[in-house]
Amino acid sequence: MLQLGVLRVHRLGFGTMQLTGPGVWGPPRDHDGAVAVLRRAVELGVDLLDTADSYGPFVAEELIREALHPYPEGLKIATKAGFTRSGPDQWEPCGRPEYLREQCEGSLRRLGAERIDLFQLHRVDPKVPADEQYGLCKELRDEGKVAEVGLSEVSVAQVEAAQRIVPVVSVQNQYNVAQRSADDVVDYCAERQIGFIPWFPLGSGKLSRPGGPVDQVAAELGATVSQVCLAWLLRRAPVMVPIPGTSSLEHLEENCAAAGLALTEGQYQLLSDARKPLRRWALGG
């Protein structure tokens, strides 16, 4: 378990981006299947759902409410604000305080919640003074509309700047066994007990090709590549909270089983040392 401010969660959550249509746009191809995946995730012990008003847009939040409201005791919902959407795979940062407030209030309505457990700034909009964006998050927290505040795709300097205005309990950056440009942010968060929520946690690139280090460790453990990727993340830092997403019940159960997978020291070091050139991915994380 990990303490994120007033929130206490298990260290393996569930991300809802893949429950929407192609390009994170529109409804899922299998509506009933998406509802079933959400319900099964909670049955398996997941107590942190990560979503965003931009997933769909609005679709993922609406699915969460349909599947799980009234929410079971202990379930925490994290949502994000700070993007506009004009079509499939189209993402445009927008950090105007009035827009962020509108997004928060919309998320509260769609989720059927009195308070958002974890409200995350999806991106720091470079066109708006950062302090205004952090300040709006503080206002929402002070008003009781959100319990805790998190940031997404930020540097250490940005976390420090935000912390001067509002307590930050989590950071959500792209991070996985193959792409580790956020190593410094992970270490910063670990030193300060700030939760680190890696998006795209199952990425492994060439490391999982036949004979590669991830494939090798998976064979040794009788596990899947995805499980090894998650096990490495969970060991990488005690504040790590992966949120693998899927629209498949089979893959959901496979991912959740990774919480019980233990890497040996040798296996962990093999994966830690097996780096490939880093590259940045698309905005939508």
Give catalytic status of residue 99 as yes or no. Answer: no
Structure-token pair, residue 152: 């997404």
What does the alpha-carbon distance between residue 177 and residue 154 come to, in Å, rounded to a whole number? 19
Q: Is 33 helix (H, G, I), strand (E, B) or coil?
A: helix
In sequence order, which residues have a C-beta less than 8 Å from that of residue 102 and are 6 or more positions away?
none
Using alpha carbons only, what angle is made at residue 172 by residues 209 and 155, rounded to the nearest 5 degrees? Answer: 100
Structure-token pair, residue 168: 């930050």
Chain centroid to CA 220: how far? 29
C-alpha to C-alpha distances, 170 to 7, 98, 107, 183, 203, nearest whole angstrom: 11, 23, 19, 15, 21
What does the alpha-carbon distance between residue 12 and residue 23 come to, in Å, rounded to a whole number? 25
Structure-token pair, residue 193: 């007990």
Contact 204, 176 (CB under 8 A): yes
C-alpha to C-alpha distances, 87 to 55, 84, 93, 110, 280, nearest whole angstrom: 11, 10, 14, 20, 22
The one catalytic residue among 55, 99, 175, 188: 55
Structure-token pair, residue 74: 């202990």
Strands 7-9 and 2-4: antiparallel
Q: Is 15 helix (H, G, I), strand (E, B) or coil?
A: strand
Contact 130, 157 (CB under 8 A): no
What does the alpha-carbon distance between residue 26 and residue 207 come to, in Å, rounded to a whole number? 33
Residues annotated catalytic, as ranges? 55
